[in-house]
Structure 1
Amino acid sequence: MGNANVAPGFFCSEARIGTVEGGEAGVLVWKSDQLVAVLTRIDEEAYSTKGKWFLETGFGLLNGLHKNFDTIEEAVLWVGNHTFPELVATAD
């Protein structure tokens, strides 16, 4: 993914997130120069969630929220709608 532009006004950068020994694949979600969320890719077979994305932590309005998403695009769109809703067009 690298530095991918996945939703209007937002971009992501890959990172290893230290939630387990050795870390796990993750993405930092940025709005301009503000870190708004940390997403991790789920590698577990349990509950049919492998390959999905998890809101590990969010900042501001996302503080304390946790949620699974099927794709990174869905996750970033959701983050945008719940942090800066006026900047992100919602999908029908």
Structure 2
Amino acid sequence: MSTIKFSSTETEQLVAKIQGYFAKELDQDLGQFDAEFLLDFFSKEVGAHFYNRGLFDAQVIIAAKLEDVSEMVQEGISEIEKPVS
């Protein structure tokens, strides 16, 4: 399984969030290196689960939109159908 790669800006933001969480919730200081290591660990070990959930959620939304479009197409075709005698 490949590791999710973040830009340097994203990494900085995520590391700051991890450090903030450790400070606030666990009352522990976490250094830059340790926070980056933890981010890499979670990215590698659980990142794919979050990624796949995002894909699943997107698929549900797209399927619903496609169903709406299909209904609109069917209605539009019904409106322009010629009567048959």
Query: Relative contact order, CA 8 A, sep 6+: which one is greater?
Result: 2
Report which of the two has the higher share of helix: 2
Q: Which structure has the larger Rg? A: 2
TM-score (norm 2): 0.31
Report which of the two has the higher share of strand: 1
TM-score (norm 1): 0.29
